[in-house]
């Protein structure tokens, strides 16, 4: 419990430090928010022009997008340091954190923060509008609201687990940026659309190795499509728990073999 209090204190200090540069903070938040909206608007324009894609309309795809991006920004808000772990290994920053009298992972998580309020607001807006439309036309029932909140949480856990596993690989390879492009950027981009649009090998990849399909697509097949059974919800939770457990185990093994850069 003391570690959690210390972690929260360090997190607040980081946030306060970021807020010292108000103009930079506001501009960064504004630009990031614009990018989030522009991404979805571009997708919406294409869908409006060509209609539904294999039975998925703009509101359903917007729901997938909203769930995914909300989970992504929650993860980035908490795990910014994990998402950009390479400098800790290359520049010797991890050596300093090893001296702190607290678990290393908590030290890493509280050493850097990213303000994601603007992006989170935009993704929640997209999610809220699309879910509201689906509720209004009867596509989804009212149980979709609590279930959506649940899968946003499990999705955040899955993203954190994948990010942590990617960072842990760095204990062997040192460089993780290229791997992160695959496990984070590329996988996120692919998961914005229904997995049924992709070939079998890519669907398998996004349901097993990098299980981003369980963030939005798998539970959505029950919540808003009613094509799959209720089992998708506990299955999503199980995948989140197993992913986190595997990532933590890999992290612990990696920490034991870490060799200082000497800087």
In a domain, 155, yes or no: yes
Q: Provide the domain count of the chain.
A: 1
Question: Is residue 190 domain-resident?
Answer: yes
**How far lies 153's CA from each of 50, 199, 234, 240, in Å?**
33, 28, 13, 9
Taking each helix axis as running N to C, give the angle between helix 58-83 and helix 144-173, from 0 to 180 degrees, rounded to the nearest 10: 40
Q: What are the pLDDT digits (tens) for 66-89?
A: 999 999 999 998 888 898 899 888
Domain that residue 239 falls in: 2-256
pLDDT per residue as tens digits for the range 1-27? 566 676 666 666 666 666 666 666 666
CA distances from 35 to 16, 29, 153, 164, 198 (A): 25, 10, 23, 25, 25
> Does 223 fall in a domain?
yes
Q: What is the pLDDT of residue 223?
A: 95
Per-residue pLDDT in tens (0 to 9) along the chain, 263 residues: 566 676 666 666 666 666 666 666 666 666 666 666 666 666 666 666 666 777 888 899 999 999 999 999 999 988 888 988 998 888 888 988 888 778 899 889 888 877 777 788 888 988 999 999 999 988 888 999 999 999 999 999 999 999 999 999 999 998 888 899 889 888 998 998 899 999 999 999 999 999 999 999 999 999 999 889 999 999 999 999 999 999 999 999 999 988 876 65
Categorise residue 199: left if φ over 0, alpha if ψ from -120 to 50, beta otherwise: beta
- Establish if 113 belongs to a structural domain: yes
Q: Is residue 261 part of a domain?
A: no
């Amino acid at each position: 419990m003391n570690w959690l209090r210390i972690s929260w204190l360090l997190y607040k200090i980081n946030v306060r430090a970021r807020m010292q540069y108000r103009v930079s903070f506001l501009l960064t938040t504004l630009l990031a928010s614009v990018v989030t909206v522009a991404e979805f608007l571009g997708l919406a324009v294409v869908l409006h022009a060509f209609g539904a894609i294999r039975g998925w309309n703009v509101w359903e795809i917007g729901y997938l997008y909203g769930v995914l991006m909300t989970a992504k920004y929650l993860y980035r808000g908490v795990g910014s340091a994990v998402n950009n772990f390479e400098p800790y290994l290359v520049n010797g920053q991890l050596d300093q954190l090893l001296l702190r009298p607290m678990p290393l992972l908590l030290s890493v998580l509280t050493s850097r923060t990213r303000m994601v309020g603007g992006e989170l607001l935009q993704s929640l807006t997209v999610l809220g509008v699309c879910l509201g439309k689906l509720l209004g036309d009867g596509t989804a029932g009212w149980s979709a609201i609590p279930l959506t909140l649940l899968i946003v949480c499990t999705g955040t856990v899955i993203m954190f687990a994948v990010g942590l596993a990617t960072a842990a690989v760095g204990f062997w390879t040192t460089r993780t940026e290229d791997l992160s492009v695959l496990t984070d950027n590329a996988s996120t981009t692919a998961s914005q659309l229904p997995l049924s649009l992709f070939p079998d090998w890519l669907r398998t990849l996004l349901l097993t190795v990098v299980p981003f399909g369980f963030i939005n697509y798998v539970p959505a097949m029950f919540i808003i499509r009613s094509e799959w059974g209720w089992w998708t919800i506990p299955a999503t939770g199980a995948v989140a728990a197993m992913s986190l457990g595997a990532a933590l185990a890999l992290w612990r093994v990696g920490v034991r073999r870490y060799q200082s850069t000497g800087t």
